Amino acid sequence: MAEQQRPPIVTILGHVDHGKTTLLDFIRKSSVAAKEYGGITQHIGAYQVTHDGKLITFIDTPGHAAFEKMRSRGANVADIAILVVAIDDGVMPQTTEAIKHIQAAKVPMIVAVNKVDLMSPLPSPSGERKTDFSNPQLKIAMEKLKKQLSDQKINLEEYGGDVPLVPISAKTGEGVDKLLEIILLVAELHELKGDSALPAAGVVIEATLDKFKGSVATILVRNGTLKKGDQIMVGGVKGKIRGLFDYSGKSVDSAGPSTPVEVLGLEGVPAVGAVLGELPEVKEAEAVQSLVDKLRQGKTKTLKVVIKADRQGSLEAIQASLDKFNQEQKVVDYVFSGTGDIGEENIKLAATVGAIVIGFNVKMAPTAQKLAETEHVLIRTYNIIYELLEDVEEVVSTLLEVGQLEEVIGRANIIAEFPHGKVERIAGCRMTEGTIAKGQRLRLLREGEIIGETKLKSLKKVKEEVNKVEKGNDCGMLFDPIVDFTIGDVVESFRVI
């Protein structure tokens, strides 16, 4: 079957309290498709609405880490991103973070300027609140916001760019129809296509272990068709689909392109962002995921950095010093720079774009440290600027001249082996260092010599399928592709920075 037009997949991002959830709630209550099935009866992380007879899929995770996790794993899940900015606050720190994520994802952006009704309410005989767009105060606030957006390299349509701006009130619904109309126009412009005849390809956007249903995952089908009874493997977790449910809780037999469904029948709980099938953009992202791979393929010769410093003066001094590396060619790319301690939002951004985090005279939040370990983000903190510059110079030199800088994440000794199927064997391992997780690159060493590279097909602790194991634990590993291991070999997880 030839490719056909598919519904756009939309995500909504922005600063806290700027109205992301309120906007989604209004759209859901006013335009949810298939209302005859009772509307939303359960939360599966996504839903579909109809506008002018056309479907739009929304990822219902505003401000949620799911978007960043999916991006950091290389999946451009959304086709369109809506940036919600409150007119009374303007561009705030999380707005800036959201913009960076959208720009890194390279998806079309629509700016929704929210709370315009609060700035200039216009009474009406029916009591319905409307906005007086001729109000000078509102005009001044809007121009100020447009200037802030321009400073963030957002090219608005009215200034000759390609980013639409739509004034809305998420509370009253004013302008929401216009926003939905713009979404469909942007989708039509980008000619979103899908082929329902292909095997399903998609991404996990939510996953949990339900005491009644067992392992439950919400899979957003990006292309192809997912059917009840299909045997699937997603994020190292396999299963046979015994139940498919749409966003309204209705049981369905299949799900086509741009359709979110709750899936029952998996043997374990896959990670958010785990990929089902072959997504072209995921294959490309995996191929150039590390900085070294990008250098080898000639796609970049830059070291991306997120910088946090104690004061603005320190920040400016660091940037001025680092700029010496950029005199002949741009080798240091400032993805984000700001003052204050290193937080989770900095780690998420670094994971998304493949950057390292540099801190000067700042602390790191415990949650940020834990997230950095999970997402394998390299962090370096300094109190002396010369040490910072020396380290950066060493990294830049290594990347540009040698082409690689490796970091070992975890190690395990193979202490037993067990047959599995006709040709496969399970390696019984004991963790000695760090962590080993699904999705990581693995290599096997024998007496210090590398005998092969592989990845995990299955990872079990006792008899339970898990996503990762840590130092001190015993586990069973099934490799794909198969490697000829023996007892005494060492399994090493690593990444190339």
Phi-psi region of 229 (alpha: psi -120 to 50; beta: other; left: phi over 0): left
Q: What is the pLDDT of residues 460-479, one digit of tens each?
A: 998 888 888 998 899 999 99
Neighbouring C-beta atoms of residue 361, cutoff 10 Å: 14
Rounded CA gap, 151 and 312, in Å? Answer: 18
Quick one: pLDDT at residue 112? 95
Which runs of consecutive H residues, i.e. helices, occur in 219-323? 280-287, 291-296, 312-322
| Lookup: tokens for 45 | 């992380």
Q: Facing residues of 427 across strands? A: 417, 477
Across the chain, how many H-helices and E-strands are there?
12, 30
Q: Select, from the ranges 38-52, 277-291, 364-378, 415-429, the one with the highest average predicted confidence (pLDDT).
A: 415-429
75 confidence band (pLDDT: 50, 70, 90): very low
What integer is the mean pLDDT of 406-428?
88
Residue spans in the chain of domains classed CATH 3.40.50.10050:
291-404
Quick one: pLDDT at residue 240? 93
Rounded CA gap, 482 and 497, in Å? Answer: 26
Q: Select, from the ranges 54-63, 80-89, 119-128, 406-415, the one with the highest average predicted confidence (pLDDT).
A: 80-89
Quick one: pLDDT at residue 313? 78
DSSP state of 260: E
Q: Which fold has domain 201-275?
A: Elongation Factor Tu (Ef-tu); domain 3 (2.40.30)
Phi-psi region of 140 (alpha: psi -120 to 50; beta: other; left: phi over 0): alpha
- Do the beta carbons of residue 94 and residue 297 sit within 8 Å? no
Quick one: pLDDT at residue 335? 80
What integer is the mean pLDDT of 413-429?
89
Per-residue pLDDT at 34 exceeds 80: no
Quick one: pLDDT at residue 129? 62
Residue spans in the chain of domains classed CATH 3.40.50.300:
4-193
Residue spans in the chain of domains classed CATH 2.40.30.10:
201-275, 407-496
Q: With 0.85 as the threshold, say if the pTM is over it.
A: no
Kindly report which listed range (52-66, 168-182, 355-369) carries the lowest average pLDDT score. Answer: 52-66
Per-residue pLDDT at 12 exceeds 80: yes
Edge-to-edge, what's the strand order for the sheet holding 379-382? Answer: 332-339, 303-309, 356-360, 379-382
| Lookup: tokens for 380 | 């370096």
Q: What SS3 class is residue 91?
A: coil
State the first-to-last Cα distance of the chain, in angstroms, to the nearest integer.
41
CATH for 407-496? 2.40.30.10
% pLDDT > 70, the chain: 82
314 confidence band (pLDDT: 50, 70, 90): confident
| Lookup: tokens for 266 | 């998996």
137 confidence band (pLDDT: 50, 70, 90): confident
444 confidence band (pLDDT: 50, 70, 90): very high
Please, what's the b/e burial string for 379-404 (b: 16 or more CB within 10 A of its CB; e: otherwise)?
A: beebeeeeebbeebeebbeebeeeee
Per-residue pLDDT at 405 exceeds 80: no
Rounded CA gap, 43 and 37, in Å? Answer: 15
Q: Select, from the ranges 25-39, 136-150, 404-418, the one with the highest average predicted confidence (pLDDT).
A: 136-150
What integer is the mean pLDDT of 403-415?
78
Quick one: pLDDT at residue 121? 58
Q: The CATH number of 291-404 is which of 3.40.50.10050, 3.40.50.1100, 3.40.50.300, 3.40.50.720?
A: 3.40.50.10050
Per-residue pLDDT at 37 exceeds 70: no
Per-residue pLDDT at 64 exceeds 90: no
Kindly report which listed range (260-274, 282-296, 322-336) carries the lowest average pLDDT score. Answer: 282-296
| Lookup: tokens for 269 | 């709980």
Burial class (CB in 10 A: 0-12, 13-18, 19+), 57: buried
Return the sign of the alpha-carbon dihedral for residues 72, 75, 77, 82.
positive
What integer is the mean pLDDT of 242-252?
90
Quick one: pLDDT at residue 402? 45
Cis peptide preceding 366, ω within 30 of 0: no
Q: What is the pLDDT of residues 167-186, one digit of tens each?
A: 999 888 889 999 999 999 99
Domain 4-193 homologous superfamily, CATH: P-loop containing nucleotide triphosphate hydrolases (3.40.50.300)
292 confidence band (pLDDT: 50, 70, 90): very low
